A and B are shown apart, each in its own frame.
Chain A
Amino acid sequence: MIERSYKITSVEGLHARPAATLVAAVTPFTSEVKLEYQERQVNMKSIMGLMSLGISKDSTIKIIADGSDEEDLMAVVDALMKTEGLATG
């Protein structure tokens, strides 16, 4: 199991589009992946779960991946966060 924390820098937070981008990116992996925010954890492959957190700019989140391809999954998330300007690690 691996974890990583991020601080959200995208002005629209993790609403709608950024949420959709992240969900679409992690869905193909077999590992389980959770996103933690203010002591709540949701399945990161769930667009509605992610949206229900209402994560806004400057929030700190933690991503927890667990499974055979967890390293690859985290690398993809990390790259997306940076190239899309969503968060800093």
Chain B
Amino acid sequence: MKSIAGLAASNGIAIAKALRIEDTALPIEKKAVTNTDKEIKRFESAIFAAEDELKEIKKQTQLKLGSDTSAIFTAHLLVLKDPEFIGPIKEKIGRGLNAEFALQETTNRFIAMFDALDNEYIRARTADIRDVAKRVLTHLVGLTLPDLSLISEEVIVIANDLSPSETALLNLDFVKGFVTNRGSRTSHTAILARTLEIPAVIGTNTATSTIENGQVVIVDGIEGRVYVNPSEEIISAYRAKSADLEANKVEMTKYLNKPTVTLDGHRVELAANIGTPEDVKGAIENGSEGIGLYRTEFLYMGRDSFPSEEEQYEAYKSVLDCMKNRPTVIRTLDCGGDKELPYFKLPDEMNPYLGLRAIRLSLEMQDMFRTQLRALLRASVHGNLKIMFPMIATLDEFRKAKAILIQEKEQLISKGIAVSESIEIGMMVEVPSAAVIADHFAKEADFLSIGTNDLIQYTLAADRMNERVSYLYQPYHPAILRLVKNVIDAAHQQGKWVGMCGQMAEDDIAIPILLALGLDEFSMSASSILKARSRISQLSKSKWEGHLSHIMSLSTAEEVEHFMKEIIGKRN
């Protein structure tokens, strides 16, 4: 089994065989034409043909998805009539250039112009220009594009990129989801996928080089993960998850907008893990009381260069604005490991998970780090911001990162730029060394957030993507429970709060243990929040505290699981 990461473009889970859509190479040669009038006529008829097609696509989209969505193609039609686009092309043809080349040159000029703008939304529109230009080009060269509406068995579409028009035409009876190499969350392709409610992961960089035709693929549009040739175990886990999603939708709405309180009146916070500002909406709709983890790496992925300070500021501000003073924990860049940036090639490492990643990379590339911190600090006045550093292993790392943050803050203030006075500065506890000396960290950090996925893989020394050692991914391992207890106790001694942002925080068996240990904040995917709230509201913290010393005395994960199931079973 292989797993690849990308942007979670559209929620949901899909399991089916892969169907690869190959890019049709359109040959474009530069040629001199002598009969320019004839060439202009040829260009005009290609425009007419493209217009007819687009009108039909617009009509279909309007029937299927309504006029809000079909407006995308109204804009495409306007491009075909755009005097600043068509004019220069005709001019070039008039000077003796062939239509294909004139079209390509002018298209590239606009794409370069849009790409240069410091506005992600406008940059995402280059995909629209490409889509329109490609349509005209196919008519010029007399080729037909693969018709995705003809797909007639259940598949997951794998492509380098899908254009908005290709996405709109997907036959949803058979296309269960899609995965692409390119794309951004604000592209029309991603927006269409959400409107179509079709699970999609985009911007993976590697989908077409990793996935073969006919392989079974799981698209996890919630976490932004794709599993290729998954084991039976993972398939059945995902089938269950998918069924759960459906079944719980209705039942859970009664837990919306309610605080999270146990039977005996103990209150905890349920927060959401998000990847992009667009996810905030889903987090709020699912009753999240805060953001426990905003993974900023997605701002850096699926693009050609580092995001500017301004662009990051806009993203952070928009999250803080939408959260309206609810606690919002934003984690600084955590890349390296399995998350690569195409424009910034890190040297290959023998053990990427143990290599130059997360805070280690930020401390080495300080310009990049400082840009991110400035954007965060400037955004801090818009809400209740808490900044968190990933992968801290030593006190020295935390102190260095914090010192840089404070330097940037003072510089901004000296320039008269407003910065919130109450930003909490915390850290992830995901490296065992940090968990063991949590008492030292708790004196200097404002909060600790336990990242269980990495903590488990590092503590049991087992790559969580390697199926043959997957049995070692043991959240209930006594070593993990002791580390978690140590972190919570140490933080509480210093009057600090502790969160958890990892799979374990939403695990049915782990939740009662975490409650008894005193965990303050549980952060999880938005879709799990209502289920967790319903679960917690049926538990008594004091009862589980009574079981705690026995649970902590057990010597294997199996014993813990067995004991927990027994007690949970009895209660029901």
Contacts and interface: CB of A to CB of B under 8 A. Distances in A.
The reply to whether chain A is a binding partner of chain B is yes
Interface of A: 15-17, 19-20, 23-24, 27, 42-43, 45-49, 51-52, 54, 56
Interface in B101-141: 110, 113-114, 117-119, 121-122, 125, 129
Contacts of B71: 16-17, 20
B78 A52 contact: no
B413 to A, nearest CB: 25
Nearest to B79: A47
**8 interchain residue pairs of minimum CB distance:** A46-B84, A47-B78, A54-B119, A20-B75, A49-B84, A54-B122, A46-B82, A54-B117
23 contacts: A15-B122, A16-B71, A16-B75, A17-B75, A19-B75, A20-B71, A20-B78, A24-B74, A27-B81, A43-B84, A45-B83, A46-B83, A46-B84, A47-B78, A48-B79, A48-B82, A48-B85, A49-B82, A51-B114, A51-B125, A52-B113, A52-B114, A52-B117
B172 to A, nearest CB: 24
A52 B109 CA distance: 12
A51 B119 CA distance: 11
B424 to A, nearest CB: 30
B114 A43 contact: no
Of the candidates A20, A42, A48, the one having the most CB atoms from chain B within 10 angstroms of its own CB is: A48
A34 to B, nearest CB: 12
Contacts of A20: 71, 74-75, 78
A28 B117 CA distance: 30
A43 B81 CA distance: 13
A80 B78 CA distance: 18
A59 B568 CA distance: 59
B196 to A, nearest CB: 18
Contacts of B119: 54, 56
Nearest to A17: B71
A48 B83 CA distance: 9
A45 to B, nearest CB: 6
A30 to B, nearest CB: 13
B454 to A, nearest CB: 38
Contacts of B117: 52, 54
Contacts of A51: 114, 122, 125
A81 B74 CA distance: 19
A68 to B, nearest CB: 18
Query: Chain B interface secondary structure, helix, strand, loop or mixed?
Result: helix
Nearest to B129: A48
A56 B311 CA distance: 14
Interface string B51-95: 000000000000000000001101100110111110000000000
B28 to A, nearest CB: 20
Contacts of A15: 121-122
A45 B74 CA distance: 14
Of the candidates A24, A27, A49, A51, the one having the most CB atoms from chain B within 10 angstroms of its own CB is: A51
A45 B75 CA distance: 12
Of the candidates A16, A20, A24, A47, the one having the most CB atoms from chain B within 10 angstroms of its own CB is: A47
Contacts of A42: 84
A47 B122 contact: no
Contacts of A47: 75, 78-79, 82
Contacts of B75: 16-17, 19-20, 47
Nearest to A46: B84
A46 B119 CA distance: 19
A50 B110 CA distance: 12
Contacts of B85: 46, 48
Given A47-B82, A49-B82, A51-B125, 19 more contacts: A15-B121, A16-B72, A16-B125, A17-B71, A20-B75, A23-B78, A24-B74, A27-B81, A43-B83, A43-B84, A46-B83, A46-B84, A47-B79, A48-B82, A48-B110, A49-B84, A51-B114, A54-B119, A54-B122
B71 to A, nearest CB: 5
A18 to B, nearest CB: 10
B374 to A, nearest CB: 21
B68 to A, nearest CB: 9
A48 B129 CA distance: 9
Contacts of A49: 82, 84
A23 B74 CA distance: 11
Nearest to B71: A17
Nearest to A43: B84
Contacts of B118: 54
Nearest to B80: A47
Contacts of A48: 79, 82, 84-85, 110, 129
A14 to B, nearest CB: 11
Nearest to B188: A16
Contacts of A52: 110, 113-114, 117, 122
Contacts of B113: 52
A88 B178 CA distance: 42
Contacts of A43: 83-84
A32 B149 CA distance: 42
Contacts of A16: 71-72, 75, 125
A45 B86 CA distance: 12
Contacts of A54: 117-119, 122
A7 B113 CA distance: 25
B72 to A, nearest CB: 8
B70 to A, nearest CB: 11
A45 B79 CA distance: 10
Interface in B260-279: none
Interface string B460-480: 000000000000000000000
B84 A24 contact: no
A34 B78 CA distance: 17
Nearest to B121: A15
